[in-house]
Amino acid sequence: MTIQEVKSTGCYVQHQFLDEGHIDELKEFFKLPESRPGVVEFKEADIENSESVVLNDLFRDIEKIMKQLDKHLEFHKLWFQTTTSNSIHAFEAKASPFLPHIDTQRYTKAMVYLTDVNLESGPFTTSKQNPNNFEELRKQIFRKNPAALEYQGNRPEFDTTVVNFSPILGKRGMLVVFDTNTPHFAGKIEEGFRQILRFDYWSKKHILKN
């Protein structure tokens, strides 16, 4: 499997992308307690001005991967995110990314898992379909309600009894690159917590505007 798989299946997985020592350094740098859910957001300048050599090296590695995939992709933001079962229950009261959906604004995202991912810890789940097959649907959703969250506008489109979804499982240090135009959803955490670094990229050719 190569990074070009993203173009045909919407997803690429590389196990052991980040080693144990670098994972621990990154978790120490962000200093978000494992017991407290939340997000730390970085822009490019924040990464460049940080004192973390590991973070800067990782960012350069992700940049190379993204440019190899599509030279038009541009960095948008980085999230360091801790999610717990309790925070998921609170979030569900507002909206639900835990149902199959595509994103209204199309991104290519690179997630580096800083914790092991099994069925209980809320794995990212994808249908592994060609993302271009859903471009017209994405535009239809946007035209219907540009302000709506994507998973509020297209719940009926992806019946899990018809579309085959697969969870992405693996050890911490795994890299997952995916196109948000492929039907996907976040797995619910049944126990423990999940920590990830998520690098969001987009291309001007895919940005929809009113």
Give domain limits for the chain.
5-202
pLDDT mean across residues, the chain = 85
Distances (CA, A) of 52 to 22, 27, 29, 197: 10, 11, 7, 14
Q: How confident is the model at residue 93 (pLDDT cuts 50, 70, 90)?
A: very low
Distances (CA, A) of 89 to 2, 97, 124, 152, 169: 36, 12, 17, 17, 22
**What confidence score (pLDDT) does residue 151 get?**
46
> So what's the pLDDT on residue 152?
47
Residue 43 has a pLDDT of 96
Q: What is the mean pLDDT of residues 108-133?
A: 93
Q: Are 15 and 170 in contact (CB under 8 A)?
A: yes
Q: Given this model, what pLDDT does residue 158 score?
A: 61
Dihedral sign of CA atoms 179, 94, 187, 176 in order: positive
The number of beta carbons lying within 10 Å of the beta carbon of residue 87 is: 17
For residue 79, name the pLDDT band (cuts at 50, 70, 90): very high
- The pLDDT value recorded for residue 161 is 64
Whether 50 shows a pLDDT value over 60: the answer reads yes
> pLDDT, tens digit, for every residue of 28-45?
898 766 656 678 899 999
Residues in Cβ contact with 106 at an 8 Å cutoff, skipping those fewer than 6 apart? 131, 135, 138, 179, 180, 181, 202, 203, 206, 207
Residues 155-206: tens digit of each pLDDT: 545 666 667 889 999 999 999 999 999 999 888 888 888 899 999 999 998 9
How high is the pLDDT of residue 208? 83
pLDDT-derived band at 56 (thresholds 50, 70, 90) equals very high
Determine whether 35 is exposed, middle or buried from the number of CB atoms within 10 Å of its CB (0-12, 13-18, 19+).
Answer: exposed
Contacts of 162 (CB under 8 A, 6+ apart): none
144 confidence band (pLDDT: 50, 70, 90): confident
- Joined together, the tokens standing for residue 154 give 């297209």
What integer pLDDT is reported at residue 192 of this predicted model?
A: 81
Q: Please state which CATH number belongs to domain 5-202.
A: 2.60.120.620
